[in-house]
Structure 1
Amino acid sequence: MFDSTASNLTSQQSWANLMQDHDAIRLLETTVLPPYLNSCRWFAGKARQQAYFRVQFAHEIPYRADAETSDQAFLVIVEVGYADGETESYLLPLSFVERAQPEIPPKGILTTALFDQKPGRIVDAIYDERFRRALYFNLVHQETLTQQSGQLRFHRGRGLAADDIDAEVSSRVLPVDSSNSALVFGISSQGEKYFLKLYRKLFQETNPEVELVSFLTEKSNFDHIPAYAGSVVWEQETGADVTLGMMQRMVENRHDSWNQTGDDLNDFLYAVPNRLFSVKEEVFERVELLGRRTGQMHLALYNSDPDEAAFAPEPFSDEYREFIIQRFENLLERRYNLLIDNYVKLDPLAQRLAWVFMEAKEMIDEFVDDFRNRPLESLRIRIHGDYHLGQVLVTGKDFIIIDFEGEPESSIAERKIKHSPLKDVAGMIRSYHYAVSAKLFGSTETAGIEPDHLQRVSERWFKLIRDTYLDAYLETIGSPHPLFKNNSEVNFLLLVYLLEKAVYELGYEISYRPAWVKIPLKGIMDVIREIEKIRIADPTRDSELPLLQVGLLQSKKE
C-alpha cells in the first residue's frame, strides 16, 4: 500500500499558486507521483519500465464561493514516459485539504504538505466534497472555464432533470476499484440519482462512450441505457477534444446478466448429474427479451440523417475488410504459436480441439479470402463494441445496457470504426457459451463427470439459448432491413465475427486460465464446422481442401 507519510511537500506559495513553484512540481513528479500512481488500480503502466512522470497540464477548478474556504482543485494531466513504447496520459484531480477538514481515506492521500505555512495533505480531489460539488455545479450550469491551455467545457444532457439544476446535492465516491472512478450525486428527498464517471487514462479524442450514450439519449427513443446527463471536455487549442468525464442517470439493478445467467444455470447444473435436462421457461423469456433489446439498440444506432455523419451507415469497403483481415491474421498467427508452445499443458479434450483447429488452417485461410472478395450489401454502423453479459444490468424484469467504451485493448480510433451490428451479437453469443461452460466445467457438482459428456450437455443448452437470442434479435430488426441484405449474409458475417471473437479469447485463456482453453476452442470448432457446410453446399466452389478431421475429437473411450 502507498505510504502517504513517506514524503512531505513544502512550498512558500499558496495552494492556488502551486504551478508557480517549480521546485514543488519537481518534487511532486519525482517523489510523490511515481509511488502513488503505481498504487492505483486505474494506472495501467505498472508492468512497464517507467522512465518519468511529468505534470503536463493543470486545469483550475475553483470551488464555489459559499464553500468553507475560497479554494480550488487542479485537474492535473500526468504524462508517463516509458523505456519502450508510447507515453500515456492520466487524469489526476488534486486538492489541498487542511488537517481540520473531514477525514480522507488513506488511498486518497498523496502526501502531507505545507503551503504558505498551512499544514495539510494533497489528496485525490474525488475524495474532497468541495470538488465533487464544483463538478456538479459547473456541469448542470453548462459552464466554460478558460485555462492556460484551451478550456474546460461542461455539457448538460437530456438525462438531467430541469428541477435538479439548482437542487441541493449530496455526493460520495463509489467504492469500486476499476479503470475509472465514479462519483454519485443525490438530490434531497429523491435519493441518489446521478453518477459521474471520471476517465483516468486519457486519449486525444472524444471518448466513444460519451458519443454513443449521448446520441442514444438525445437522438433516439431507446431508453434501456443510463440516460446521458452531461460530460466534461477539455477543448485544446489544437482543436482536439479530450473527454474527462461523463454523468448519467443512476439505475436500480440487482446484478448484471452474467450473474443472472449463472443463477439460471444452477437448476440446470443440479440436474446434470442425474442425467436430466431442465431449463425453465422464464430463462428463455429473459434471453428472448435481451435479444429484442439488443435489436432495439442497433435500430436506434442506425441513423440515415445526413447531419449525423459520425453515425451514418457505411458499406463493407475494401479498406474495412483489409483492416479486419489484417487484425485477424495477426491474431491467428499468435494463437497458433501459443497453442504449439503450450500444447502439452492442455487437458486431453482441449488437445483434441487444438489439433483439429490447427489442421483446419487452410480452410480458415480460404474463409478469410471469401470475406475479402465476397460481394456484401449489408451495412456497418457504430456499435456497443464490447458487448457481453457483464455489460447488461438486470432491473426487475428488464435490462439496462452499460459501458459503451469499446474493446479495452483497442485504440480510440479503432473503437469508433463502424462494424456490422452482428459483431455485438457475436460477443453476446460467445458470452452465453462461456456462462454454461464455466458453470459445468468449474462446479463441484459435475467434478466426477466425463469432460466429453459435459461438453455435449453444455452444447445442448448453449444452442437452445443461442437460437432463442438470435431469433428474437433478427425478428426485432425486421426483414428486409438495410442493415442486412439477406439471411445468407447474416449467417456469413456472424461466422466472421464469431471466429474473430473466439480466436481473441483463446489467447487470454492459454496465458491465464489453461483449464478454460477448451471453451474458445469449442467456439472456433463450431464456426469451422459451419464453414465446411458452406463449402460442401456450394456447387461452384473448386476446392481440393480435405474435410475436417472430426474423428480426432473423439476420446479413446468412445
Structure 2
Amino acid sequence: MFDSTATNLSSRYAWNNLIGDQDAIRFLETAILPPYVNACRWFAGKARQQAGFRIQVVHEIAFLSDNQTDDKAFLFIVEAAYADGETERYLLPLSFVEAGHPDASSIAPKGILTRADFDQESGLVVDAIYDERFRQALYFNLAHQQTLDQTSGKLTFHRGKGLAVDDINGLITSRVLPVDSSNSALVFGVSDQGEKYFLKLYRKLFQETNPEVDLVSFLTEKSNFSHIPAYAGSVIWEQEGVPDITLGMMQRMVENQQDSWSQTGDYLNDFLYAVPHRLFTIREDVFDRVELLGRRTGQMHLALYDPDSGDPAFAAEPFTDDYREFIIRRFESLLERRYNLLIDNYTKLDPLAQSLAWVFMEAKEMIDEFVDDFRTRPLESLRIRIHGDYHLGQVLATGKDFIIIDFEGEPESSISERKIKHSPLKDVAGMIRSYHYAVSAKLFGSTETAGIEPDHLQRVSERWFKLIRDTYMDAYLETIGSPHPLFKNSNEVNFLLLVYLLEKAVYELGYEISYRPAWVKIPLKGIMDVIREIEKIRIADPTRNSELPLLQMGLLQTKKE
C-alpha cells in the first residue's frame, strides 16, 4: 500500500498498475498535482480560488517495445474545481522513468512531478511529453490510425493527408519545443534538413472537437487551399452519447521567417524614419505583400465556402434572426462595459484619447440606432465557418508567400461560440484592425517620433493605414469575385464590414484601458472611423426618419500646420 509518510510518491504496486492504488492516486491529487499544475503555463486557473484537483478519467497508451514489455503512459484527465464558477478539465500525460533509464538525466526539470518508488523500483514521475517512448507511441498510433479501447470510451487516432506515406512506418525522431504556452508542442522528423511535423497537445479540454482541427482538416482534406500547415492527424477521445473531445492535432511543419506583425513592423521602419523629415515613404513591395495577403484571405474563404461538401458543419447559412440577436446581445453587453470603463478612467487618458472618448460616448444613440438597423435590415449575404481570430500575428511570412495558422478562434469565447458561422468579413475586419494597430503602435511608440505632436502623428498614420486598407480590401474582393453568394452586393459588404469593425474595436478598447492606457487612442480611432461611416449612411438615406442630431466632430479637429 502507498506510504503516506514518505516525502515522495511510493507504492507497492508497479507503475503499470498505478490506477489500482487509490491511496497513491489520492496523494497525487492532493500533494503533487496542486504545486505542479499551478507552475505550468498551460494552466488557466492560477488566478481563481481553487477547491482542489481530481483525476476524473485515466487513459492508457502502451509504449512500443521489442521485448513485449507492457510499459505505458497514463493520460490523466484532471478536473480543477474552484470556489466559484465552473470546473475545468486538463490533459496531463504521465510516465515513469526508472532511475537507470538512459534518458532519466535528460528530462527537463519543469517536466518532473516527483521522485517515486513503484514496487521498489525508483525513478521519476514525469510529464510524458518529455519521455521519448511516449512521443514514439503517439506518432505510431497516429500514423497507423489506431483505435485504443479505454475504460471510458476509446482513443481514436486519425491520419491526415499531410503525413507523408514514407513516414508511416518505422521510428521517427522527436523533441519537445521549449515554448511555454496554453498548449504543448512536439515536433517529429528532426534532422539536419529541418523538422517535418508539429503536434499540438491540447491541455485545457472542452466537451467538443477543437475548432482548429475541424477547420484545418477540412481545408486539407476537402480543398486545394495550400497556405496552411497541412493536417497530418489528430487524437480524439470518443465516448458514446456525448460529443468527441480533441486531445491533439498534428500538422506539417512550414518554413517560417517571421509572423506578419513583425514583418509589417519592419516594413514600417522606412515610413517611420521619414516622418520626422515630413516625408511620406512606402516601398512598392509593401503594397505587393498586402495585396498578396488580401488574395490569400479571399482564397481561404472561398475554400471554406463549399456548397458541395455535404458536411452540415460547413454548409453556408443565411443571416437568421437568432444569429443577429446573438451578435447584438454580445455587442450591447460589451458596449455597456466599455462605456463604464471609459467613464471610470477618463481622467487618466491623454488629450487626444479624451477627445475621441467624448465623441464615442456622445455617439451612443447613433450606435444604438445602427444596431437596430442590423437587427431588421434585409440581408442576403451568407455566413460560413471562418478563421475567427484573424490578425497579422496569425500569418507566417515564408519568403515570398504566407501561411495562415492558429484556427482555434477567439480565446475568450466558448468552443460552441467559436464554431458559430459568421460573414467572412469578420476575419477581414480583424486584419484591417491589425494593420491599424501596426502603424499606430509604430508611430506613437517610437523614439524617432517622440517629439512630434500627437495630432500630426494621427493624420500621418491614417494616411498610411487607408492606403494599406484599400489595397488589402481591393485584392480580397477581386479574389472573391462579383457576384458571389457570400456577398449580395457592395452595400451589404460595406454595412457588414462596419458591424464587425465596430465590434472588434470596442472589444480592443477594454484591453487597452485596463493594460495600456497610452494605446487607448488606437481602438477609439477605429471606433471613430466606423461612427463617421454610420453618419454618412444616415445623411445619404432620404428615407431615414431619425431625429438624432449630427455628431460634434469639431471636437476632433486638429490644428493645421
Q: How does 1:313-352 map to 2 (within 5 A)?
A: 313-352=316-355
Distance 1:160 1:41 in 2: 29
Distance 1:241 1:222 in 2: 26
Residue from 336, 352, 356 that aligns with 1:353: 356
- Cα distance change of structure 1 residues 143 and 454 upon mapping to structure 2, 3 Å threshold: same
Q: How many corresponding residue pairs?
A: 553
TM-score by length of 1: 0.97
The code of the aligned residue for 1:212 comes to: L
Distance 2:377 2:237 in 1: 43
What displacement does 1:190 show? Answer: 5.7
Q: How does 1:147-162 map to 2 (within 5 A)?
A: 147-162=150-165
Residue 11 of structure 1 is matched in structure 2 by: 11
Q: How does 1:203-282 map to 2 (within 5 A)?
A: 203-282=206-285
Residue 78 of structure 2 is matched in structure 1 by: 78
What displacement does 1:99 show? Answer: 1.8
Q: Deviations over 1:482-531 (max 9, x none)?
A: 00000000000000000000000000000011110000000000000000
What displacement does 1:294 show? Answer: 0.1
Distance 2:291 2:539 in 1: 32
Q: How does 1:160-199 map to 2 (within 5 A)?
A: 160-186=163-189, 191-199=194-202
Residue 544 of structure 1 is matched in structure 2 by: 547
What displacement does 1:555 show? Answer: 5.2
Distance 1:398 1:117 in 2: 57
Q: Deviations over 1:67-89 (max 9, x none)?
A: 89641001110000000000000
Identity %: 82
Residue 3 of structure 2 is matched in structure 1 by: none
Distance 2:181 2:44 in 1: 11
Residue from 90, 108, 124 that aligns with 1:105: 108
| Matched residue SS, 2:96 | strand
Residue 137 of structure 1 is matched in structure 2 by: 140
Distance 1:38 1:168 in 2: 34
Residue 450 of structure 1 is matched in structure 2 by: 453
| Matched residue SS, 1:84 | coil
Contact 1:203–1:242 (CA under 8 A) maintained in structure 2:
yes
Residue from 353, 376, 381 that aligns with 1:378: 381
Q: How does 1:87-102 map to 2 (within 5 A)?
A: 87-101=87-101, 102=103
The code of the aligned residue for 1:39 comes to: A
What displacement does 1:188 show? Answer: 6.3
Are 2:520 and 1:517 aligned?
yes
Are 2:498 and 1:475 aligned?
no
| Matched residue SS, 1:59 | strand
Provide the alpha-carbon RMSD of the alignment. Answer: 1.4
What displacement does 1:100 show? Answer: 2.1
Distance 1:116 1:391 in 2: 49
Q: Deviations over 1:9-67 (max 9, x none)?
A: 11110111111111111110011111111101110000000001000111000001238
Contact 1:169–1:188 (CA under 8 A) maintained in structure 2:
no
Residue 3 of structure 1 is matched in structure 2 by: none
Contact 1:167–1:187 (CA under 8 A) maintained in structure 2:
no
The code of the aligned residue for 1:479 comes to: S
The code of the aligned residue for 2:251 comes to: Q
The code of the aligned residue for 1:152 comes to: L
Q: Deviation above 6 Å: which 4+ runs of structure 1?
A: none
The code of the aligned residue for 1:88 comes to: E
| Matched residue SS, 1:500 | helix
Q: How does 1:427-442 map to 2 (within 5 A)?
A: 427-442=430-445
Distance 2:467 2:287 in 1: 9
Residue from 482, 495, 501 that aligns with 2:504: 501
Distance 1:316 1:14 in 2: 59
What displacement does 1:308 show? Answer: 1.1
What displacement does 1:98 show? Answer: 1.3
The code of the aligned residue for 1:373 comes to: T
What displacement does 1:155 show? Answer: 0.2
Distance 2:271 2:80 in 1: 49
Distance 1:100 1:288 in 2: 58
Q: Deviations over 1:385-411 (max 9, x none)?
A: 000000000001000000000000000
TM-score by length of 2: 0.97
The code of the aligned residue for 1:352 comes to: S
Unaligned 5+ runs, structure 2: 1-5
Contact 1:202–1:242 (CA under 8 A) maintained in structure 2:
yes
- Cα distance change of structure 1 residues 165 and 187 upon mapping to structure 2, 3 Å threshold: farther
The code of the aligned residue for 1:415 comes to: R
What displacement does 1:201 show? Answer: 0.4
Unaligned 5+ runs, structure 1: 1-5
Comparing 98-107 with 212-221, greater Cα deviation is found at 98-107
